[in-house]
């Protein structure tokens, strides 16, 4: 449960795009270095094929594949797998030790993904949630290599307004030690000639106080409680602005714990809540696979 903040700091405050992934067939942890080499060769070949290579552009992509042992919920979970692509710095003159530039990261994880791993034959590895940060072109190359190599399938993971409202409720109730930023909900108004977004900001202490009045059993959340919480927010907004937010579509939520967009883009802001957020996202990924 306790994730070492040092080892996972690079996962925080970045916008990660979410995918769900079917179990990987014959994926062997002992071969991560081989996989890095093979993936590197695949990317070089794909780039060559595209021929959209400017003269003199450094093509040398270095691939690292490693295990993030810390990132899992239960004993059943497989350790997370991190894939990083860097541009090798051209070795000019004396700057031999100049840094490679990280251009893309992606990681597979499963945090309390037991529902999936229990029913899977032993040749398969379950890491249902895949998060990426970096150019779409790298995501698609890495994705196609994994799909070919491990007979798996990737799908973009969107987040429904219902799931966004769960996130708001769960994160509103979290205790944070430092001064937290406002909780913000963004709604898109349907059926208008011009697209209109409405942003609704709530002081974090007010949001927490409201959640505390709604929640009956600490540590447990029900759909009914989430509905009551959202209805209170809608009523308050309607009283002031005469707008029915319940008729709009919730598209984004931002809290001090994390922010999430309906397109499946998430930013995790607090290492303490990393496992909790990943558990929720793992659950969404699994439900999309089932």
Please tell me the predicted confidence (pLDDT) of residue 38: 95
Among 116, 139, 156, give the residue marking a domain's end. Answer: 156
Note whether 152 and 165 are same-domain residues. Answer: no
Residue 278 resides in a domain: no
Q: Which domain holds residue 143?
A: 5-156
pLDDT in tens, the chain (290 residues): 556 777 788 899 999 999 999 999 999 999 999 999 999 999 988 887 765 555 445 568 899 999 998 788 888 899 999 999 998 876 655 455 667 899 999 999 999 998 888 888 889 999 999 999 999 999 999 999 999 999 999 999 999 999 999 999 999 988 876 667 889 999 998 888 888 999 999 999 999 999 999 999 887 899 999 999 999 999 999 999 999 999 999 999 999 999 999 999 999 998 889 999 999 999 999 999 98
Note whether 169 and 53 are same-domain residues. Answer: no
Which H/E stretch holds residue 75? none
Among 156, 191, 215, give the residue marking a domain's end. Answer: 156
Note whether 59 and 185 are same-domain residues. Answer: no
Note whether 26 and 125 are same-domain residues. Answer: yes
Note whether 247 and 182 are same-domain residues. Answer: yes
Please tell me the predicted confidence (pLDDT) of residue 11: 93
Note whether 70 and 213 are same-domain residues. Answer: no
Please tell me the predicted confidence (pLDDT) of residue 94: 46
Q: Are 257 and 275 in contact (CB under 8 A)?
A: no
Note whether 119 and 194 are same-domain residues. Answer: no
Note whether 144 and 192 are same-domain residues. Answer: no
Please tell me the predicted confidence (pLDDT) of residue 6: 75
Strand partners, 156: 19
Residue 114 resides in a domain: yes
Residue 194 resides in a domain: yes
Q: Are 197 and 188 in contact (CB under 8 A)?
A: yes
Note whether 67 and 180 are same-domain residues. Answer: no
Note whether 41 and 110 are same-domain residues. Answer: yes
Please tell me the predicted confidence (pLDDT) of residue 97: 60
Question: How many structural domains comprise the chain?
Answer: 2
Strand partners, 102: 86
pTM for the full model?
A: 0.91
Q: How far is CA 84 from CA 63, 132, 144, 145, in A?
A: 6, 10, 16, 14
Note whether 205 and 244 are same-domain residues. Answer: yes
Q: Quick one: which of 150, 104, 158, 156 has its CA closest to 126?
A: 150
Sign of CA dihedral 11, 17, 19, 23: negative
Note whether 131 and 166 are same-domain residues. Answer: no
Task: Name the H helices within the chain.
Answer: 5-8, 32-50, 114-117, 136-150, 161-172, 204-214, 223-241, 274-289
Structure tokens at 189: 């108004």
Residue 283 resides in a domain: no
Residue 270 resides in a domain: no
């Amino acid at each position: 449960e306790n994730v070492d903040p040092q080892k996972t700091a690079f996962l925080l405050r970045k916008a990660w795009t979410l995918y769900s992934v079917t179990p990987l067939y014959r994926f062997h942890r002992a071969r991560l270095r081989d996989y890095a080499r093979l993936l590197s060769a695949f990317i070089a070949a794909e780039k060559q094929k595209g021929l959209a290579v400017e003269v003199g552009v450094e093509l040398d992509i270095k691939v690292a594949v490693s295990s993030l042992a810390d990132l899992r919920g239960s004993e059943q979970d497989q350790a997370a797998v991190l894939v990083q692509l860097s541009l090798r710095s051209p070795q000019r003159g004396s700057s031999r030790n100049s840094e490679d530039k990280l251009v893309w990261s992606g990681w597979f994880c499963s945090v309390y993904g037991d529902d999936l791993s229990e029913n899977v034959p032993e040749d398969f590895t379950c890491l249902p949630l895949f998060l990426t940060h970096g150019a779409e072109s790298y995501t698609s190359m890495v994705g196609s290599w994994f799909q070919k190599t491990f007979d798996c399938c990737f799908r973009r993971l969107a987040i429904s307004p219902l799931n966004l409202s769960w996130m708001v409720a769960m994160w509103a109730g979290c205790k944070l030690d430092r001064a937290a930023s406002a909780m913000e909900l963004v709604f898109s108004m349907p059926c208008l000639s011009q697209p209109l977004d409405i942003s609704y900001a709530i002081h974090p202490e007010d949001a927490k106080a409201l959640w505390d009045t709604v929640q009956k059993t600490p540590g447990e959340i029900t759909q009914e409680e989430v509905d009551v919480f959202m209805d209170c927010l809608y009523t308050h907004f309607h009283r002031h602005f005469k707008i029915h937010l319940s008729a709009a579509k919730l598209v984004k939520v931002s809290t001090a714990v994390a922010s999430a967009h309906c397109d499946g883009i998430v930013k995790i802001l607090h290492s303490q809540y990393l496992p909790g957020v990943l558990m929720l996202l793992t659950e969404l990924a699994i439900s999309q696979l089932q």
